[in-house]
């Protein structure tokens, strides 16, 4: 009897070990499958639609040469952000203020290649790409007001193609400016910037207005700013914005939107970026290293 019991016990032991091995293998395979499914689930894939997929982020100013130094107001393309709405074009980037019917700021890049011989298109037009429900200022809203339709990104900076020049005549790129400002002292700085570009420089420009001297407009009310400002960061052509350092030239001006200034040189109105920040509430050069931005904001240009 004892001889017959021993083989039976060995057989049972083998069956037990086989069962344990099968269970371990099953657990191991289960872990592998769960990890595989988790990595490839809809929630974890780009654009996933599962319950844990994060909502799409509101887009801020994109990586664009026209706004390379940074978005000064944190504009977004969320249509509910009506007074700081991000509008991106190949020719410029701007923040639109629906309540004021004008841009908060317009930012663009200028180099010699942007300056061509295309004739002025002169086709002032409402900005059709604004979301539904936004104020679309028309050229007639300026008619008879005594104020010019003052380009922010100016026409002559975009004369490489007719399409480029045409986009500067969008009413979203206009501020009501006095003739003395628009045609004289403001224009003289615009011309100087093109001279710098032709001399082998690239310019990162942002400009806008602040304050209120009332409104104009027929169908749409448009704010008349008390002042118009401009900031110009000058770098050698071909140099990446990341190579800007504290020695870079910065031109900042704050000009009154007034009559009687036609004979003033633009240099009369030079100031610092820091001063413009205090008057507008914006934060410039946000995409530059903090120490470089701080140094540039405190510089006042000599005007030559």
Active-site annotation holds for 40: no
Sign of CA dihedral 159, 162, 164, 166: positive
Backbone φ and ψ for 92, nearest 5 degrees, come out as -170, 170
Which H, E and C letters describe 153-221, residue by residue?
Answer: CCHHHCCCCHHHHHHCCEHHHEEEECHHHHHHHHHHHHHHHHHHHHCCEEEEEEEEEECCCCEECCCCC
Q: Which of 118, 83, 88 is nearest to 103 (CA)?
A: 83
How many angstroms separate the first and last alpha carbons of the chain?
Answer: 115
Sign of CA dihedral 278, 280, 286, 289: negative
For residue 252, the surrounding DSSP H or E stretch is: strand 249-256
Whole-angstrom Cα distance, residue 28 to residue 97?
60
CA–centroid distance for 26 within its chain: 55
Whole-angstrom Cα distance, residue 64 to residue 194?
20
CB-CB neighbours of 252 under 10 Å = 24
Sign of CA dihedral 65, 280, 145, 270: negative
Whole-angstrom Cα distance, residue 262 to residue 256?
11
Whole-angstrom Cα distance, residue 139 to residue 217?
9
Would you please indicate which residues are annotated as catalytic (active-site) residues?
151
């Amino acid at each position: 009897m004892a001889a017959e019991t021993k083989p039976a016990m060995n057989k049972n032991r083998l069956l037990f070990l086989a069962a344990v091995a099968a269970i371990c293998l099953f657990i191991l395979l289960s872990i592998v499958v769960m990890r595989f499914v988790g990595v490839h689930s809809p929630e974890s894939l780009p654009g996933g639609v599962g319950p844990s997929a994060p909502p799409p982020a509101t887009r801020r100013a994109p990586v664009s040469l026209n706004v390379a130094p940074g978005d000064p107001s944190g504009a977004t393309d969320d249509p509910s952000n009506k007074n700081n709405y991000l509008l991106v074009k190949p020719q410029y980037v701007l923040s639109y203020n629906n309540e004021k019917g004008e841009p908060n700021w317009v930012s663009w890049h200028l180099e010699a290649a942007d300056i061509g011989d295309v004739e002025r298109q002169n086709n002032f037009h409402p900005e059709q790409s604004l979301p539904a429900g936004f104020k679309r200022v028309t050229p007639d809203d300026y008619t008879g007001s005594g104020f010019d339709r003052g380009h922010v990104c100016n026409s002559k900076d975009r004369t490489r193609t007719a399409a480029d020049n045409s986009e500067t005549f969008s009413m979203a790129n206009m501020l009501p400016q006095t003739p003395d400002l628009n045609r004289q002292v403001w224009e003289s700085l615009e011309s100087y910037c093109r001279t710098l570009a032709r001399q082998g420089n690239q310019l990162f420009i942002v400009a806008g207005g602040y304050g209120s001297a009332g409104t104009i407009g027929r169908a749409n009310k448009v704010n008349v700013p008390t002042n118009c400002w401009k900031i110009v960061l000058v770098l050698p052509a071909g140099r990446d914005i990341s190579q800007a350092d504290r020695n870079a030239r910065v031109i900042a001006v704050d000009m009154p939107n007034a009559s009687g200034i036609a004979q003033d040189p633009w240099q009369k109105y030079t100031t610092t970026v820091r001063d413009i920040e205090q008057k507008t509430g914006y934060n410039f050069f946000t995409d530059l290293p903090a120490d470089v931005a701080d140094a540039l904001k405190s510089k006042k240009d000599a005007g030559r």
